[in-house]
Structure 1
Amino acid sequence: NFINVSGQQFNTIHVMDDHFYEEVNEVIQREPGEGQDPEILGQLASIGIKKGQPFKPDARMQKILKEAADVAAVTVRALASRPREDMFYYYPGNGVWTTPFPGGSYQFLDKNNARYLDARAYFHFYATGITPAMVQAPYGKGSTYAVAYMDSTGNPLDGTKTYKVHVPANVPGKSFWSFTLYDNQTRAMLQTDQQFPGIDMNKKDLVKNADGSYDIYFGFKAPEGKEANWLQTAPGKGWNMIWRIYGPTKPWYDRSWKIGDPEVVK
């Protein structure tokens, strides 16, 4: 049954409080057990989520689950917005752009086969799908993602301020590049008066600098004369952005080409 949802508004946001466990229980009840990781099923069973059985935590367990959800929510938001370890940064000590794939593994494994638990939590909190092509594709294939929650001074991106990101010439991508804005609270695309909170190199009226570079602006109001290269933000809302390259090539991976940090425009 194909349902056309074009132009419709509907909620795709997972809850972040203790009702999260009810969502998990619904998945476990609907899906065959063979499709789930036995380790995860065992952990869920320890808190009362078992296939074929009602999930009815008593008052004691409800208190535990509420506290666990609250702690998990703030922990994973911190992991995503301001990672402490250099391995999360594309340019450690020299830039704010982060990767949810430290070590270049879509399985979040290091060279000794240990799993980066913080990285896995960051990615699956932030994103909705995963594929090896996000990390391990050959040059000129797949895609790459860089996330910015902060400006060049290390302050969180603020919907009341205006920022500029400089995109140097000769972007190392075979297909195209783009920016997309997201709401820190919901993790969904940022809702503004613009129909789509994104801009890419295929935009017909995008203005290129004389040297082949681009300057992209972000703020509630477009700087005068920069409307074609502008994405709108929302006052009172924290936001973040993803820079994507489709078909990334060697200069992206060896860091010889560097995307600019978001800079406050005064």
Structure 2
Amino acid sequence: MEKAVSRSILVGIIVGSLALTSAFAADALKMKITTDIPPGIAMPDKVETRLGTLNFFDGFPDKPTRIYPLSQAANPPANNFVNVSDRAFCTVAPADYRFWELLNDVVQNEPIASLDPVSLGFFAAIGIEKGKPFAPDERMKKILHEAAAVGDATARTLTYQSRIPEAFYYPNSTWRQWLGGYKFESQPGVAYLDAAAFFYFYATGVTPAMEAKMVGKGSQYAVGIVDSNGNALDGGKTYRLHLLPNVPAKDFWSAIVYDNQTRSMLQTDQDFPQVSSLDRGVVTNKDGSVDVYFGPKAPEGKEHNWIQTIPGKGWNMLFRLYGPLEPWFDKTWRLNEIELVN
């Protein structure tokens, strides 16, 4: 009984740890800055990327941005840009004992005020405390290893098999949405743990602009995990997403495919596993609608509307709207389901 209780507590810790940057991290933004920031150094309002505009806060620099330690402000080093676009590297968090080592690194290197007392108390209960060595014995390592695996499976289940009706954007639809605001609260002051676990397991980090409902600004997301019949998306089959005319996006829309296992973009022969309204050559139907295809091979004549998938590998997708317009929010424009093509 004691062992079962211990495992349950540890699984709760690991699922909660996925949300370290949730509501409590938002409070950390209010921490008092004790270092004097030299004049002229500011955070940018926005950064333009290939996928759209990333918005920040605190002002926009009037000169090219440079990043360096504040201690080198008097003689800043030259920027060193590292292009990782064509480099392969792993972005998957470990689901074994190594998870706890990474968690310990966070606790040791981040300010205490960036984490809440309850989470810090949970971490301390298994030997993770700021300023102290994390040195569990072999018995505890075995328990932590198992807890990490079960915690990962729990978060994966909450992500891919949600039982929360409000998690679906439309009635009788498969499209998923974020829940609880960017602070992940079921009501003011009450943490929405399942919603936080889903978001952080799937998307890793959050900003207000990713969740806030702003007409014509920011972005909105719909998560496609299964097809119109509720079946998992199979990389060996062909699917179609029919986008009705007048997609309600002021800036642009995009459909991007992700690997179920890594939650990163699916690695295929294509440079980017996406179709976007910004792409050249995308075929638009006579009525203004657009068909996006997913599968191992492109349908004839639809190569620019096609995202490659890999047989034997499951996938999911994000439909993004940048500068979402009112028909998205009031749902007078509806995103169709992903349909299997026979």
Into which bin does the TM-score normalised by the smaller protein fall?
over 0.9
TM-score by length of 2: 0.74
Deviations 1:120-148 (A, max 9, x none): 00001111321111222421111001111
Asked if the contact 1:162/1:220 (under 8 Å) is kept, the reply is yes
Partner of 2:190, secondary structure, is: coil
Match of 1:156 among 232, 235, 239: 232
Identify unmatched segments of 5+ residues in structure 2: 1-78
Greater alpha carbon shift after TM alignment, 225-234 vs 21-30: 21-30
Give me the CA root mean square deviation.
1.5
Structure number with greater Rg is 2
Preserved CA contact (<8 Å) 1:160 1:234: yes
Residue 308 of structure 2 corresponds to which residue in structure 1? Answer: 232
Corresponding residue for residue 175 of structure 2: 97
SS at match of 2:322: strand
Instruction: Using the TM superposition, give the Cα deviation of residue 259 of structure 1 relative to its aligned residue in structure 2, in angstroms.
Output: 0.9
CA distance in 1, matches of 2:98, 2:338: 36
Q: Which moved more, 1:1-10 or 1:191-200?
A: 1-10
Amino acid at match of 2:309: T
Q: Distance in 2 between matches of 1:3 and 1:47?
A: 40
In the TM superposition, 1:93-242 aligns within 5 A as 93=172, 95-99=173-177, 101-103=178-180, 105-242=181-318
* CA distance in structure 2 between the partners assigned to 1:45 and 1:72 by the alignment: 18
Deviation track 1:98-136 (CA, whole Å, cap 9, x = no partner) reads: 01x225x11112345422110000001111321111222
1:68 and 2:144 are equivalent in the alignment = no
Equivalent residues of 2:91, 2:262 under 8 A apart: no
CA distance in 2: counterparts of 1:254 and 1:148, whole angstroms: 20
Report the TM-score, using the length of structure 1 for normalisation: 0.94
Q: Which amino acid aligns with 2:127?
A: G
Residues 131-189 of structure 1: CA deviation (Å, up to 9, x unaligned): 11122242111100111110001000010000000110111111110011111111111
Separation in 1, partners of 2:263, 2:210: 19
2:191 partner SS: coil
Deviation for aligned residue 1:85: 1.4
Please say if residues 81 and 149 of structure 1, whose CA atoms lie closer than 8 Å, have aligned partners that are also in contact: yes
SS of residue in 2 equivalent to 1:70: helix
Structure 1 window deviating more from structure 2 (36-45 vs 238-247): it is 36-45
Deviations 1:213-239 (A, max 9, x none): 100000011111211100001111111
Share of identical aligned residues, percent? 52
